[in-house]
A and B are shown apart, each in its own frame.
Chain A
């Protein structure tokens, strides 16, 4: 060993005071007090803190509002419009997910106008997008009696080939409802990599890398946070995709267990999805204060070493 010179004052004497004495419990600076705002929803009064949305207030009353593009951890883009509600005095319906409550608002969540718009939105989506891996949307469609087939069979859709350009995840934009969530997760709301963006305009607007280059040529760092937020299965773990193709994917035989990522010291919570003793996917809870649902490539995909079976009974 090369013994190095070292000229600082010795610090390695036993410290009788370790562990250090208790001080006051540290506190975060107090949050600004938010006044309580009372509004009426479907005739019922509800009070929520200033800055809350109509969606928050509706949730408090136990009203189930359909959402697609909304996620707690992302900035609301309010583009799917399936959450629209009727605000008394407003010319148009308003999106519950982003509209902040104001005193004395009176809201209707199940009026004829609301039902019509929600139904049409669902019909528009289901008539243009493959929603076969979006069970939540099907439940909404039953609820609002949506019949997308009434637009005929010659209607325009976003059908296109599946993109498999890497070993970790698959992109099937036939299933994309353009909710912007993946772009937000890749961008300013979490990962800040900006490997994908909305490109084009109108009905041909789509999620793309620059010039649609394959992911391995793009800025993608495979954090998989886009998959974590995708509501329709347009973005899917390759493992899941392959199992679905092979007909072995079976959610009723899956369980989820939380553990902590084995890599760096940040302490990310991993929700491990297993089927028949095999890991089939990793997510993270949106409400976890460390991850907010986000992971990196190692946390999301670096578990495959667990699946490797010993090749020899000695364990070698």
Chain B
């Protein structure tokens, strides 16, 4: 296409950053620097080639005129990680290399929280002040940092670093959490959790002086997976054996060897024996429902692609796709991170079985941008699986072809919504698409796509290995299997827990050591910011899809966040409202404006300055909630008032 750029030029370093992701430019038309092979000598003389092939076909998925566009997000990361911000010159160079208009590149880059479009020091401490960390002292942490460095946005370490407040970082079991990113030739991401102001400051200093430890973070299994101690000790318990967490922590950092030793890849082998239909049959018998929040039957999703395999055979432009949704961003949720950090091969195995059933040859893991250790471990696992024939062109000698690529998110909660995730991978703004068409008909690159949550995929190998009906016997009639829960807030032993579906909420809290803080439970938030509050009187609710639905609640992403009676729930609600105000993509009116008006109304109620009366404000909030739920495009807007509504229903907070 014909592109027009401003005069801003990329620096040599910015070019290197982009080229490291894209390779060297094929012709001057992509680099802005003329080379002999791109031009012609004098008219009338035969000479060098004047061909400029401007639209390299994107063969793998066909049809998309913007052949390189899907590289946009990785390239933006490359610049951000190397330079610390994306300058007008860098943006122009990206446009030139990827054949994207600069306004479009800017539109995409400005969508994501992790990209800075203004000069910014290379080192940034992202300090979580979200609802889980608030219960664990993030207020004090922020106050201390304000005292030592100055208000958020102030710089330190000789101007090389700044600190910023952040949304939930998914490190809730170690709250309060801080993520330090450091841009440069070698970029770093380091976690401090639980963090203190001193620790954060010295981490920034270390980064400034290039003295950071090698590992991005460590997975401390004892802390993050409290059940692992019992598991290792072989202790019997009503909640054991663990199916999803049992490998985590065994044998140190995960390797392919350990994974196989612990039963890994036996599920895939069995699937290959069963064939796609047989595998699908086991999955259907298991009654596995998606663990991302929507609880859609996994077998049904895969079957939709399986049934289109004939079309796949006859149309070379078609390509099914499997995506692992690892963009875990729901405040209070961290289970997928721990699975990725602790058992990455299980995810790959689950995806490979999915590929076998659905006919997909390409898989993507859309991995939350803030999860450095998970990304590193997944990347290492993919490499190892490739090298050992568990991924690639002839998996386990079965001629199964499947490759997996990691795409890292860049700080946008909405990209966990599956259609927004497609747009994000494709190099567009992460705005959800209207459904129908559903992803199984038209998903990534408009191809049939199965999107599954990390936990769902980790369930799959075991189901195939042990048989679907065995799995279905776990849990309850309508909620089969076990489920991971993220306990955080005022709970004695925060962490990820695996229990059978149908366990009572009270039992789960007891398993985690009960309520701390004042010791007196005020409320439990189930399912995160998009979830629902329940009260102490509802602790006997069974944790099943149907059990929570009966009390107007939801399991959502498995968050169980406890608040003691000293917490001002109105402040928590305000923080949730601010979260949505920050994270709405802005595409549709009910959500874009609704979440703002909701936050404004809540603010007025909290400071007891309602417009008209409290009753009027509450009525207005209810009306807005209904319009957002009814008229928004996607789940974000549809659930943006759900926590608030559930709280207003249970407590009179603003009287």
A joins B in a complex? yes
Please tell me if A88 contacts chain B, counting CB pairs below 8 Å.
no
A205 touches B629 (CB 8 A): no
Please tell me if B15 contacts chain A, counting CB pairs below 8 Å.
no
With beta carbons under 8 angstroms apart, the residue of A78, A80, A156 that contacts B434 is A78
Chain A residues in 8 Å Cβ range of B632: 81, 92
Closest B residue to A204 using CB positions: B586
Closest B residue to A126 using CB positions: B593
B: contact size bracket = 35 or more
Give Cα distance in the complex from A136 to B430, angstroms: 31
With beta carbons under 8 angstroms apart, the residue of B6, B108, B594 that contacts A124 is B594
A152 touches B600 (CB 8 A): yes
Give Cα distance in the complex from A213 to B92, angstroms: 13
Please tell me if B106 contacts chain A, counting CB pairs below 8 Å.
yes
B593 touches A128 (CB 8 A): yes
Closest A residue to B86 using CB positions: A211
B589 touches A151 (CB 8 A): no
Closest B residue to A93 using CB positions: B630
B412 touches A195 (CB 8 A): no
B627 touches A202 (CB 8 A): no
Please tell me if B549 contacts chain A, counting CB pairs below 8 Å.
no
Give Cα distance in the complex from A187 to B428, angstroms: 13
Chain A residues in 8 Å Cβ range of B624: 120
A81 touches B589 (CB 8 A): yes
Q: Which of B110-142 contact A (CB under 8 A)?
A: 110-111, 113, 117
Contact with B along A101-139 (1 / 0, CB 8 A): 000000000000100110111001101100000000000
Give Cα distance in the complex from A272 to B529, angstroms: 53
If A78-B434, A125-B589, A127-B593 touch, whether A203 touches B581 (CB-CB below 8 Å) is yes
Chain B residues in 8 Å Cβ range of A219: 3-5, 101-103
B586 touches A200 (CB 8 A): yes
Q: Which of A179-203 contact B (CB under 8 A)?
A: 187, 192-203
With beta carbons under 8 angstroms apart, the residue of A77, A80, A113, A156 that contacts B596 is A156
A210 touches B102 (CB 8 A): yes
Q: Which of B587-620 contact A (CB under 8 A)?
A: 587-590, 592-597, 600-601, 604, 611, 620
Give Cα distance in the complex from A124 to B593, angstroms: 6
With beta carbons under 8 angstroms apart, the residue of A80, A98, A194, A204 that contacts B589 is A80
Chain A residues in 8 Å Cβ range of B592: 124, 178, 202-203, 205
B4 touches A218 (CB 8 A): yes
With beta carbons under 8 angstroms apart, the residue of A120, A201, A205 that contacts B590 is A120
With beta carbons under 8 angstroms apart, the residue of B586, B597, B638 that contacts A178 is B586
If A81-B588, A210-B6 touch, whether A121 touches B102 (CB-CB below 8 Å) is no
Please tell me if A228 contacts chain B, counting CB pairs below 8 Å.
no
Give Cα distance in the complex from A187 to B611, angstroms: 43
Closest B residue to A177 using CB positions: B589
Please tell me if A275 contacts chain B, counting CB pairs below 8 Å.
no
Give Cα distance in the complex from A192 to B564, angstroms: 56
Give Cα distance in the complex from A145 to B434, angstroms: 28
B103 touches A120 (CB 8 A): no
Please tell me if B584 contacts chain A, counting CB pairs below 8 Å.
yes
Please tell me if B269 contacts chain A, counting CB pairs below 8 Å.
no
Give Cα distance in the complex from A37 to B601, angstroms: 45
Give Cα distance in the complex from A200 to B596, angstroms: 16
Chain B residues in 8 Å Cβ range of A81: 588-590, 631-633
Contact with A along B92-104 (1 / 0, CB 8 A): 1000000011111
B593 touches A201 (CB 8 A): no
B91 touches A210 (CB 8 A): yes
Give Cα distance in the complex from A168 to B103, angstroms: 20
Give Cα distance in the complex from A84 to B436, angstroms: 15
Summed over the interface, the residue pairs from A and B with CB atoms below 8 Å come to a total of 173
Q: How far is the CB of A42 from chain B (nearest CB, A)?
A: 18
If A124-B590, A202-B584 touch, whether A152 touches B110 (CB-CB below 8 Å) is no
Please tell me if B266 contacts chain A, counting CB pairs below 8 Å.
no
Closest B residue to A217 using CB positions: B6
Chain B residues in 8 Å Cβ range of A121: 589-590, 627, 631
A79 touches B633 (CB 8 A): yes
A203 touches B596 (CB 8 A): yes
Please tell me if B512 contacts chain A, counting CB pairs below 8 Å.
no
Chain A residues in 8 Å Cβ range of B620: 150
Q: How far is the CB of A312 from chain B (nearest CB, A)?
A: 42
Give Cα distance in the complex from A99 to B435, angstroms: 9
B106 touches A211 (CB 8 A): yes
Give Cα distance in the complex from A301 to B167, angstroms: 48
B101 touches A193 (CB 8 A): yes
Chain A residues in 8 Å Cβ range of B631: 81, 84, 92-93, 117, 120-121
Give Cα distance in the complex from A43 to B594, angstroms: 31
Chain B residues in 8 Å Cβ range of A116: 623, 626-627, 630
If A113-B630, A120-B590 touch, whether A195 touches B597 (CB-CB below 8 Å) is no
Contact with B along A218-235 (1 / 0, CB 8 A): 110000000000000000
Please tell me if A281 contacts chain B, counting CB pairs below 8 Å.
no
Please tell me if B105 contacts chain A, counting CB pairs below 8 Å.
yes
Closest B residue to A121 using CB positions: B589
Closest A residue to B580 using CB positions: A202
Give Cα distance in the complex from A93 to B600, angstroms: 25
Please tell me if B583 contacts chain A, counting CB pairs below 8 Å.
yes
Chain A residues in 8 Å Cβ range of B101: 193-195, 197, 219
Q: How far is the CB of B473 from chain A (nearest CB, A)?
A: 31
Q: How far is the CB of B88 from chain A (nearest CB, A)?
A: 5
Please tell me if A66 contacts chain B, counting CB pairs below 8 Å.
no
Q: How far is the CB of A180 from chain B (nearest CB, A)?
A: 8
Q: How far is the CB of B62 from chain A (nearest CB, A)?
A: 18
Please tell me if B429 contacts chain A, counting CB pairs below 8 Å.
yes
Give Cα distance in the complex from A195 to B110, angstroms: 16
If A120-B627, A202-B585 touch, whether A195 touches B103 (CB-CB below 8 Å) is yes
Give Cα distance in the complex from A179 to B586, angstroms: 11
Chain A residues in 8 Å Cβ range of B582: 202
Give Cα distance in the complex from A213 to B581, angstroms: 27
Most buried by A among B108, B429, B434: B434
Please tell me if B1 contacts chain A, counting CB pairs below 8 Å.
yes
Give Cα distance in the complex from A125 to B595, angstroms: 13
Q: How far is the CB of A122 from chain B (nearest CB, A)?
A: 9
Give Cα distance in the complex from A79 to B582, angstroms: 19
Give Cα distance in the complex from A192 to B582, angstroms: 31
Please tell me if A209 contacts chain B, counting CB pairs below 8 Å.
yes
Q: How far is the CB of A281 from chain B (nearest CB, A)?
A: 25
Closest B residue to A198 using CB positions: B107
B107 touches A208 (CB 8 A): yes
If A92-B630, A210-B6 touch, whether A201 touches B103 (CB-CB below 8 Å) is no
Chain B residues in 8 Å Cβ range of A98: 434
Give Cα distance in the complex from A202 to B585, angstroms: 5
Q: Could you pull out 13 A-B pairs where Cβ atoms are within 8 angstroms? A: A92-B632, A121-B589, A121-B590, A124-B593, A152-B600, A197-B104, A199-B111, A202-B595, A203-B593, A210-B6, A211-B88, A211-B91, A218-B4
Q: What residues of chain B have their CB less than 8 Å away from a CB belonging to chain A? A: 1-6, 88, 91-92, 100-108, 110-111, 113, 117, 412, 429, 434, 436, 581-590, 592-597, 600-601, 604, 611, 620, 623-624, 626-627, 629-633, 638
Would you list the 3 A-B pairs with minimal beta carbon distance, nearest first?
A197-B107, A194-B101, A205-B586
